[in-house]
């Protein structure tokens, strides 16, 4: 009981300080912009953003564009991680093929994918496919390298134990290998989430007919900075939500893990 009280106090304090600091920053921004201390045309200001956001939502524009971007991000995450896990597993079993191809894959992953984005738009057109391909590829590299590393460092004795207890290779993969690689797969996925957001938005900058990225370039060209900020607000919420979802997933999936904290335990009196 006692210890819990202390712990909750300690976790609440930073939260309070953080909220106060953020609110103060927003208020200062509003104050300086509305009192003509500088020209808000380049940065907009909080009340302007709120006003625009309401228009954005009620006009149905938000739904139209956000759904495009969300679809691209989820499509990329799903396809990219599926391909990453599948290929890493394949190379795990056929290590000869792995030896041949993994250097090529890591070579390709060194090319900044954003540099290739215009080509992908040429290949796949202005629709969803080009964005999903670009973002998916970025997710793939993240998840593949994390999963492949995890599989390579699996303890062989654990696989052999499963084998001796009657498990076929496929059953071992499903019940032993993938669950114990989960920590790495999830951290690959975490990198994948930000990669997917970047890929989708940049893809839309380069060539598209809709989406939050398209809305941002479009609004910027009309100096509608409030709208740009509204879009960024939506992206922020999307990114936070995805990360939160990963947190929850991690907590569910990784109950078996002991979490190491650096530094030794403090002795309490």
C-beta of 15 vs 164, nearer to another protein: 164
Q: Among 157, 251, 261, 268, which residue sits at the site for another protein (rule: CB under 8 A)? A: 157
Sign of CA dihedral 59, 223, 214, 109: negative
User: What tokens appear for 99 in the block?
Assistant: 């030896």
68: contact with another protein by CB under 8 A? no
201: contact with another protein by CB under 8 A? no
From 57-65, 120-128, 155-163, 193-201, give the range in contact with another protein by CB under 8 A: 155-163
191: contact with another protein by CB under 8 A? no
Smallest distance from another protein to CB 87, Å: 22
Q: Among 16, 256, 261, 269, which residue sits at the site for another protein (rule: CB under 8 A)? A: 256
Smallest distance from another protein to CB 54, Å: 48
Q: Among 40, 127, 179, 239, which residue sits at the site for another protein (rule: CB under 8 A)? A: 179
164: contact with another protein by CB under 8 A? yes
**How many residues in the shown chain lie near another protein by CB under 8 A?**
22
Smallest distance from another protein to CB 175, Å: 8
Distance between CA atoms of 227 and 159, rounded to whole angstroms? 55
265: contact with another protein by CB under 8 A? no
- Contact criterion met (CB below 8 Å) for 139 and 221: no
Q: Among 162, 201, 212, 234, which residue sits at the site for another protein (rule: CB under 8 A)? A: 162
Name the packing angle between helices 61-93 and 178-206 (round to 10°).
140
For residue 77, give the 3-state DSSP assignment.
helix
* Nearest by Cα to 184 from 107, 88, 262: 88
- Contact criterion met (CB below 8 Å) for 109 and 48: no
Smallest distance from another protein to CB 251, Å: 14
- Contact criterion met (CB below 8 Å) for 203 and 72: yes
Phi, psi of 243 (to 5 degrees): -65, -40
180: contact with another protein by CB under 8 A? yes
C-beta of 151 vs 229, nearer to another protein: 151
Distance between CA atoms of 25 and 22, rounded to whole angstroms? 5
Three-state SS annotation for 200-249: HHHHHHHCCCCCHHHHHHHHHHCCCHHHHHHHHHHHHHHHHHHHHHHHHH
C-beta of 237 vs 248, nearer to another protein: 248
User: What tokens appear for 51 in the block?
Assistant: 């006003």
Smallest distance from another protein to CB 182, Å: 7
C-beta of 152 vs 209, nearer to another protein: 152
Give the binding site for another protein (CB under 8 A): 155, 157-158, 160-168, 171, 175-176, 179-180, 182, 255-258
């Amino acid at each position: 009981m006692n210890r819990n009280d202390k712990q909750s106090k300690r976790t609440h304090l930073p939260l309070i300080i953080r909220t106060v600091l953020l609110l103060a920053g927003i208020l200062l921004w509003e104050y300086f912009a509305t009192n003509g201390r500088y020209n808000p045309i380049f940065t907009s200001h909080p009340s302007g953003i709120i006003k625009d956001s309401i228009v954005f939502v009620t006009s149905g524009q938000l739904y139209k564009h956000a759904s495009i971007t969300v679809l691209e991000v989820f499509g990329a995450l799903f396809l990219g991680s599926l391909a990453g896990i599948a290929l890493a597993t394949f190379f795990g079993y056929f290590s000869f093929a792995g030896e041949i191809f993994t250097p090529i894959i890591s070579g390709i992953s060194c090319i900044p994918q954003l540099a290739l984005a215009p080509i992908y738009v040429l290949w796949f057109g202005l629709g969803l496919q080009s964005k999903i391909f670009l973002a998916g590829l970025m997710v793939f590299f993240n998840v593949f390298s994390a999963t492949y590393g995890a599989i390579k460092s699996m303890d062989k004795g654990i696989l052999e134990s499963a084998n001796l207890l009657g498990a076929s290779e496929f059953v071992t993969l499903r019940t032993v290998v993938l669950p114990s690689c989960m920590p790495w797969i999830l951290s690959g996925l975490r990198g994948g989430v930000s990669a997917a957001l970047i890929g989708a938005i940049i893809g839309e900058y380069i060539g598209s007919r809709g989406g939050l990225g398209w809305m941002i370039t479009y609004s910027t060209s009309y100096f509608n900075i409030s709208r740009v900020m509204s879009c960024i607000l939506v992206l922020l919420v999307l990114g936070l939500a995805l990360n939160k979802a990963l947190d929850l997933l991690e907590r569910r999936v990784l109950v078996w893990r002991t979490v190491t904290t650096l530094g030794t335990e403090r002795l309490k009196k």
